[in-house]
Amino acid sequence: MTPGVSMEILDLRHFSAPVLRPVLEAESEIWMQRLHWDYRASCRLLMQYLDNHMLPGYAAVEAGQVMGYTFCVYEETKAVIGDVFALDGINPDLPVPASGDAGAARAIEETLLRHLFETLLNSPQVDRIESQLLLHPAGTHAGVFREAGFELFHRLFMVQPLAGHWGRSHAELPAGLELRHWRDEDLNPAARLISSAYHGHTDSLINDQYNSVYGSMRFLNNIVHYSGCGVFSPLASHVVVDRASQELVALVLGSRVSPQSGHITQICVHPDYRRQGMARLLLGVAGAQFIRQGVSEISLTVTEANTEAVELYRSEGYDTIHTFDAAVWQRNGAS
């Protein structure tokens, strides 16, 4: 199949969920094979938006069959590219290659991305575009992103098998601090903590939600109240509280992404409280709770340039099994 010969690129909002189901099911299989991640909850959410014809993006259609799709969501003056995925052949029952090969699927995905870039870059209300295509190996679509003026950041998907990693001692908290489980009322103080912890950090260049309390609250709501990153686990999520001020000084948040896999969705420590062993302690308590839930492994993502965090995770038994690209475009003159 040669993209462009009999391929049409059409507005995604013209299509309902059943038409895209074969593509989404094929993609879900790769998420499970590669990352041990159950993508079906995300697919159900996508299908709701598709049925409401509310999801901005494009579909690649050949001989009346949808072969691939891409979509974005808008957050005020920012667009976030949520996904791009394509089948390799017109028969969806054929084996789907690992995304990122040199075959037809990759060519279709890049055609879809170019159409989306053209729309977004020519939308005067869009000042910033972010993308983290977790499923796609680093470099898969690096060329098309760079051609459009994006800056790329390598990120690591790290996994720790739980067997044999427990029973070790972890650092104790300094006096005046308290460790406890996550509570619903922690959302506001957690947003304040995240915006402080990521001030001037590389990750705030990748995700500008970290730059403000308001943005951090949106990030937290997506994790805690929606299936943005698996099913939130209050039992695996913990905070460290300063007893005097009652402010949060560190936290770890966890989700279940499949029956076998837990995922650390966020871990951070306030700059004034770093290098006291709190990140290591929080990884330990989250892991202990995950293992009680029957999880056999924990994953997390980290920016490759964040070398201190990478070394911490490696010392705790995490290994990199996958790398992917984060991409950011900023309109000239936009703050």
How do the domains of the chain map onto residue ranges?
Answer: 7-149, 160-322
Determine phi and psi for 177, rounding to 5 degrees: -115, 150
- DSSP assignments along 126-168, one per residue: --EEEEE-TTSPTTTTHHHHHHTT-EEEEEEEEEEE-TT--S-
Both ends of the chain: CA-CA distance in Å? 43
Distance CA 308, CA 176 (A): 26
Distance CA 24, CA 42 (A): 10
Query: Which stretches within the chain are classed as H helix?
Result: 17-35, 40-51, 104-121, 142-147, 187-197, 202-206, 213-224, 278-292, 307-315
What fold is seen in the domain 7-149? Aminopeptidase (3.40.630)
Distance CA 226, CA 223 (A): 6
Predicted pLDDT of residue 41 = 86
Predicted pLDDT of residue 226 = 81
- Going from the C-alpha of 164 to that of each of 93, 219, 228, 318, the distances in angstroms are 39, 33, 30, 13
Question: Cβ distance 58 to 15 under 8 Å?
Answer: no
The tokens for 152 are: 């790329």
- Going from the C-alpha of 48 to that of each of 19, 43, 104, the distances in angstroms are 13, 9, 28
Predicted pLDDT of residue 93 = 45
CATH of domain 160-322: 3.40.630.30
Predicted pLDDT of residue 335 = 55
Q: What is the pLDDT along the chain (335 residues), one digit of tens a residue?
A: 444 458 999 999 999 999 999 999 999 999 999 999 999 888 998 999 999 999 999 999 999 999 999 999 999 999 999 999 999 864 444 444 444 444 899 999 999 999 999 999 999 999 999 999 999 999 999 999 999 999 999 999 999 998 866 555 466 888 899 999 999 999 999 999 999 999 989 999 999 999 999 999 999 999 998 866 899 999 999 999 999 999 999 999 999 999 999 999 999 999 999 999 999 999 999 999 999 999 999 999 999 999 999 999 999 999 999 999 999 999 985 55
Question: Cβ distance 22 to 125 under 8 Å?
Answer: no
pTM: 0.91
Predicted pLDDT of residue 103 = 81
Question: Cβ distance 248 to 241 under 8 Å?
Answer: yes
